[in-house]
Amino acid sequence: MTTTLKTRLKKLPAARQKKITKRAKELIDQEMTLRDLRKALELTQADISSKLHMNQEAVSRLERRSDLLLSTLVSYIKAMGGELNLTAKFPNRPPVKLSGFEDIEHRKD
């Protein structure tokens, strides 16, 4: 007979269940799509579209893309009330925060 994860978790002590739930949330929070993030912030595509001055369909397409201009991503994150930080990670050295992108959505090359 197979046992589900839910069943196995219920058999664990409450403290262990809490620790597992907390860690699962941390891991899930680290990996979110733009759509997931928008929903977690309880925003609709209409909310974002009005802030970005585009229609809801364009926001839907933007959320499904895997390749975005950095300026588009900065604008989307700002529309949700956030700030985008870029960090480069390399083996055998601490992460490096990249700078110079603060006003990227306003620059014209």
Residues 22 and 57 in one domain: no
Q: How confident is the model at residue 109 (pLDDT cuts 50, 70, 90)?
A: very low
7-16, 28-37, 66-75, 77-86: segment of lowest average pLDDT = 28-37
Residues 16 and 50 in one domain: no
Q: How confident is the model at residue 7 (pLDDT cuts 50, 70, 90)?
A: confident
pTM strictly above 0.95: no
Q: How confident is the model at residue 37 (pLDDT cuts 50, 70, 90)?
A: confident
Q: Is the pLDDT of residue 103 over 70?
A: no
Q: What percent of the chain has pLDDT over 90?
A: 47
Its domain, for residue 24, covers 1-31
Residues 90 and 64 in one domain: yes
Give dist(CA 66, CA 103) in Å, integer. 22
Contacts of 57 (CB under 8 A, 6+ apart): none
What is the tally of structural domains in the chain? 2
